[in-house]
Amino acid sequence: MINKIKKLTIVLLIVLIILKRPLVIASILNGINIWTNSTFPALFPFLMISDLIISTDLINYITDYIGIYFSKIFKMSKYSSYVFIMSLISGCPSNAKYIKDLLDKDLINKEEAVKILSMSLLYNPIYILALTTYLKFSDSVFIIVLNIFINLIIGLINRNYKVSYNNNKKLIPEEYNITESISKTIDTLLIVLGSLTTFIALSSLLPISHPLLKGILEITIGLTDIQFTEGYKYKLIFTGILLAFGGLSIHTQIKSILKDKNLDYGLFYKSRIIHLILFLLLLYLKTIPTT
């Protein structure tokens, strides 16, 4: 029965793509435009910088001074703090790339990878400020800070999940290879491009044009369309919902980057439910005085 439903869905999708070919092409071009003008310049420098940091002894200084406290609080390797710190600036799906690098270096294990992934659904602050101009600046800053706070809460909730880490490991610096770094960065960004354009194209086929439905598929399109929503309170709440969930596009990007690591994403998805509940609760408390 499930296979029949899958086959029927694929057939319907093909028919829709054929019938709405101009719309799909326009959506793909829009996705490429977003990637070229926003995503690529936002992520490229941070991914390159991360490779440079990991190839030197700098990551050891960062994790020795900050990571030791992070490790005690969240019961993870001190190197996990590097993922969180970098994600604060660059956002996701860069967090998946940082996690992959640490797994490749055997500095964290799979359980730690899932734990830090679950608490690092963060966004580039400048990118979010640019997308949420329909909100007051103070409210845009508020939801950015609130998202960081909730990720930390999720880290505390999950701190006792499969505790197994070793802080005695030390990264041995390697010679930085700029050619290899560029190649890896481009590979990651092409994954982002493919996912971004796919889900933007799929969102164009939806029979109902609502920012939440579009945002569940691709967060950038959803946030862009929220500006047309009636009522400031709903704009704020819808923004919170999309930031808490992240969108299937980002989830796909993360899993594609980590595809060779065979991670169990159960904790990640459970954390998104907690993230959504906490975000809605705290946003509701914020909006009470204005209702």
Residue pLDDT, tens place only, 247-290? 999 999 999 999 999 899 999 999 999 999 999 999 888 776 55
**Helices 266-287/232-245 angle, 10° precision:** 160
The 3-class secondary structure across 18-77, one letter per residue, is: HHCHHHHHHHHHHHHHHHHHHHHHHHHHHHHHHHHHHHCCHHHHHHHHHHHHHHHHHCCC
Domain membership of residue 112 as a residue range: 29-290
Average pLDDT of the segment spanning 105-130: 92
Sign for the CA dihedral angle at 241, 243, 246, 250 comes to positive
First vs last C-alpha separation in the chain: 48
pTM: 0.89
Query: Is 24 a member of any domain?
Result: no
Residue 107 lies in a domain: yes
Mean pLDDT of the chain: 88
Residue 16 has pLDDT above 50, yes or no: yes
- Whether 248 is in a domain gets the answer yes
For residues 136 and 124, give the distance between their C-alpha atoms in angstroms, rounded to a whole number.
18
Q: Is residue 3 part of a domain?
A: no
Q: Is residue 78 part of a domain?
A: yes
- Say what the pLDDT of residue 173 is: 65
Q: What is the pLDDT of residues 19-55, one digit of tens each?
A: 788 888 898 999 999 999 988 998 999 999 988 888 8
Determine, yes or no, domain membership for 72. Answer: yes
pLDDT in tens, 152-173: 999 999 988 877 766 666 666 6
Asked if residue 20 belongs to a domain, the reply is: no
196 pLDDT band, cuts 50/70/90, is very high
Domain annotation covers residue 6: no
Q: How many domains does the chain have?
A: 1
